[in-house]
Structure 1
Amino acid sequence: MRISEADIDLVTQAVTAAEARSDAEIATIVAERSDNYNDVPLIWAALVALLALAVYAAFPEFYIGLLDALTGGWHVWTMREWMTVLVFATMIKFLATRYIVGWWPLRMAFTPGRTKTRRVRARAIALFKASTERRTRSRTGVLIYLSLAEHRAEIVADEAIVAKVKPEAWGAAMALLIDELKAGHPGGGMAAAVAAIGDVLADHFPHSGTDPDEIPNRMICL
């Protein structure tokens, strides 16, 4: 899923329209992903290796019989040889799992949903602190963050907005964004979410004509 220049223009226009009705400022950021999840293949590889060792310990006769079948049954295995074979077999399973799950589509498929949610949230907060928090005179900045790979979005608001607006108020905006994202329209989803957020902000922070435009309206793509 890609963000086109038309998507950027669509969202930028939606931000401009929403800010015309409110003194609050809306920032929009879309990222291809929020994390590389490099730890996920390692965790799965470690789990597979531990499981393999447990199976070896539970059924030693089976694996000794398998080795005998491979060698013709003429070799008497010492403990050192048996342990060496186990170590190499476990290493092969570990490395194979590491590289198989390292393939990006599988890496995402094997990443728990809660992990994705936590990391998208953490990235959204970090970007909010860097780009939006306390960047407005009235502390009324809002960030809408969309992470494409995880199909997740976050809305993070400045302190003045948090004091007046309950988190549930963003539900409609999030629903619109996710629905459009599932339909393959990330730009349309972001624009719809901006409009819904603009409705909330207009109710609590109506346009006074005295508040300057302090955050760029153009959507940022990372």
Structure 2
Amino acid sequence: MRLQPDDSAKVAAAIRAAEARTDGEISAIVSNASDSYGDIVLQWSALAALFPLTIAAAWPPLLLKALAPLTGWEAPSVRIQLSLLTIVCVLMFVIGRFVIGRPAVRMAVTPRAIKERRVRARAIMLFRAGTEQRTLSKTGVLLYLSLAEHRAEIVADAAIHARAPQEAWGEAMAALVEAMRDGRPGDGMAAAVERIGAVLATHFPFSGTDPNELPDRLIQL
């Protein structure tokens, strides 16, 4: 999944249209991924390295049969067996590190719950760094999309959260998820921004006194 060249303009136009009806501020950020998941790669690689040890412990004769073509010996010494087993384990780790390190494989083997937590954590971090308390009336909302995980988050400032609970963003998330399923993340973000604007207009209607304090564009990381 990737953004199209005109998606930035679509989202920017949606932000401007939404903010024309509210004193709230909308920030939109899209990232290729929320984490490198290097620890997940190492964990799976370690499991791959342990696989030969498991086989050797459970079926020792099978190990001897597997090593015979390599050594030419029907019954190599214990020292030779352990040395070759160590080499096999190292090779399995290296192979696992290479294969699981591929982006598509890495995403596929990462548990869904871990991806959800890390996308949420990245969204909160970006919100605190670039949105939180940067508006005079503390009415900033961040729409964050992480492409690799196919997940999005909406994080709202304190004043908004006090009036609009998390459930208020259901329509915005539904519109984004539906477009993402069709491979149209840019259209989904624009639709989500429109619905976020509707929520903000209900609780924080445009007064003409609140300055525009956040950039009206899609930020790509």
Q: TM-score, normalised by structure 2?
A: 0.94
Aligned-residue identity in percent:
52
Matched residue SS, 1:41: helix
Matched residue SS, 1:155: strand
Whichever residue aligns with residue 127 of structure 2, its letter is F
- The 8 Å contact of residues 22 and 206 in structure 2, kept in 1 or not, is answered as yes
Aligned-pair distance for 1:51?
2.9
Matched, 1:209 2:208: yes
Question: 2:23 matched to which residue of 1?
Answer: 23
Question: 2:178 matched to which residue of 1?
Answer: 179
Matched, 1:130 2:129: yes
Structure-2 change in CA distance of 1:211 and 1:107 (3 Å): same
Matched residue SS, 1:217: coil
Structure-2 change in CA distance of 1:48 and 1:23 (3 Å): same
Question: 1:200 matched to which residue of 2?
Answer: 199
Question: 1:36 matched to which residue of 2?
Answer: 36
Whichever residue aligns with residue 40 of structure 1, its letter is I
Q: Map residues 161-180 of structure 1 onto 2, 5 A cutoff.
A: 161-180=160-179
Where in structure 1 are there 5+ consecutive unaligned residues? none
Matched, 1:144 2:143: yes
Provide the rounded CA distance (Å) in 2 between the counterparts of 1:77 and 1:5: 63
Q: TM-score, normalised by structure 1?
A: 0.94
Aligned-pair distance for 1:104?
1.6
Per-residue Cα deviation, 1:5-44 (whole angstroms, up to 9, x for no partner): 4211111111111111111100011111112222222111
Aligned-pair distance for 1:50?
2.0
Structure-2 change in CA distance of 1:72 and 1:136 (3 Å): closer
Aligned-pair distance for 1:45?
0.8
Deviates more, 1:2-11 or 1:122-131: 2-11
- The 8 Å contact of residues 11 and 189 in structure 2, kept in 1 or not, is answered as yes
Matched, 1:77 2:76: yes
Matched, 1:12 2:7: no
Aligned-pair distance for 1:131?
0.9
Question: 1:113 matched to which residue of 2?
Answer: 112
Over the aligned positions, Cα root-mean-square deviation in angstroms equals 1.5
Whichever residue aligns with residue 129 of structure 2, its letter is A
Matched, 1:158 2:157: yes
Provide the rounded CA distance (Å) in 2 between the counterparts of 1:65 and 1:211: 77
Where in structure 2 are there 5+ consecutive unaligned residues? none
Provide the rounded CA distance (Å) in 2 between the counterparts of 1:39 and 1:141: 33
Question: 1:94 matched to which residue of 2?
Answer: 93
Deviates more, 1:146-155 or 1:111-120: 111-120
Aligned-pair distance for 1:69?
5.5
Question: 2:46 matched to which residue of 1?
Answer: 46
Aligned-pair distance for 1:72?
4.7
Provide the rounded CA distance (Å) in 2 between the counterparts of 1:80 and 1:71: 13
- The 8 Å contact of residues 52 and 85 in structure 2, kept in 1 or not, is answered as no
